[in-house]
Amino acid sequence: MTLIQLMLLAIIQGLTEFLPISSSAHLILVPWVTGAQDQGPLIDLMAHLGSLLAVMLYFRRDIGLMITGAIDLIARRPDTSASKLFLYVAIATPFALIAGAVLFIGGWTDIFRDPAVIGVTTIFFGLLLWISDRFFTNKGAVEDQGITTALWIGVAQMLAFIPGTSRSGITMTAARFLGVSRTEAARFSMLLSIPLLGALGGAALLELALEDKVANAPDIMDGLMVAALSAITAWLSIALLMKLVERIGFTPFVLYRLVMGAAILWFVWA
């Protein structure tokens, strides 16, 4: 892989991981559009590791609140807002972790890496996001509602392994369908990404350690460079997302998805 391709992948990962436009779809499409060699899932995972660092730094106060919530639960104070936030993130997390583990162990991570699939899912889930944002009311934060809301958001996150769906997009969509406000849907989605990105990053490091080319320094440095660039651009995209969602809503991302999906399908069929 060339240096330019690695930099492009890192920037795209960082910009798209937390925006509801599917980072995995963009990462898969880079070699398809440029004609370069597919970077494979390993570089994708290292890019996710950089995104994890960015979201943890950006939401460090919320992470501190969740730590307080864990302490509250241990002290048998389950009714505090902090304890509910920690509990609901914990409840919503296992579904995607199990689905990801099954795909990774079974060697099926590449099963949906098809531009035609990406085009269809990009449009379909973009329309779902628009419907959820346009026709459903705002009822506050996830922790103000109940365990059922967190459960459904966690179940919906399993769909994120289909490229074009978008992990952040499907969790925000589910939250909006359940009446969570725009900013709170975005916030909960970001916090929910932390354990999943941690698992993906751990899988990347494990794969690096087990690879036959582990002694090949350029390969390791490539992964570290991708992670660093991804972290910087991810921080910027999170800040952009929170401002746009608060002031405008999800419509700009829906329009982007419709245009992108239509362009992909046109190129595929052409």
Query: Looking at the whole model, is its pTM more than 0.75?
Result: yes
What is the mean pLDDT of the segment spanning 40-69? 86
Instruction: List the single range of 70-74, 99-103, 251-255 with lowest mean pLDDT.
Output: 99-103
Render pLDDT for 173-217 as a digit per residue (tens, 0 to 9). Answer: 999 999 999 999 999 999 999 998 888 777 766 766 666 554 444
What is the mean pLDDT of the segment spanning 2-13? 79
d(CA 160, CA 111) in angstroms, rounded, equals 13
d(CA 192, CA 138) in angstroms, rounded, equals 20
pLDDT at residue number 100? 84
pLDDT at residue number 219? 65
d(CA 99, CA 197) in angstroms, rounded, equals 14
- CA 39 centroid distance within chain: 19
Residue 126 tokens read as 């973009």
* CA dihedral of 147, 241, 196, 223, whole degrees rounded to 10: 180
The reply to whether 116 falls in a domain is: no
The reply to whether 115 falls in a domain is: no
pLDDT at residue number 6? 78
Residue 197 one-letter amino acid: L
The reply to whether 119 falls in a domain is: no
pLDDT at residue number 40? 57
Which range marks the domain in which residue 72 is found?
A: 3-109+124-269
The reply to whether 167 falls in a domain is: yes
The reply to whether 250 falls in a domain is: yes
pLDDT at residue number 218? 44
What is the mean pLDDT of the segment spanning 13-26? 83
The reply to whether 151 falls in a domain is: yes
Using a pLDDT cut of 90, give the percent of the chain over it: 50
Burial of 248 (0-12, 13-18, 19+ CB in 10 A): exposed
Render pLDDT for 147-172 as a digit per residue (tens, 0 to 9). Answer: 999 999 999 999 998 888 999 999 99
What is the mean pLDDT of the segment spanning 39-60? 81
Residue 36 — very low, low, confident or very high, per pLDDT cuts 50/70/90?
A: low
Render pLDDT for 214-238 as a digit per residue (tens, 0 to 9). Answer: 444 446 677 788 888 989 999 999 9
Average pLDDT value for the chain = 86
The reply to whether 200 falls in a domain is: yes
The reply to whether 155 falls in a domain is: yes
Residue 145 tokens read as 């509602």
How many independent structural domains does the chain possess?
A: 1
Residue 54 pLDDT greater than 80, yes or no: yes
Residue 57 pLDDT greater than 60, yes or no: yes
Instruction: List the single range of 27-36, 93-102, 118-127 with lowest mean pLDDT.
Output: 27-36
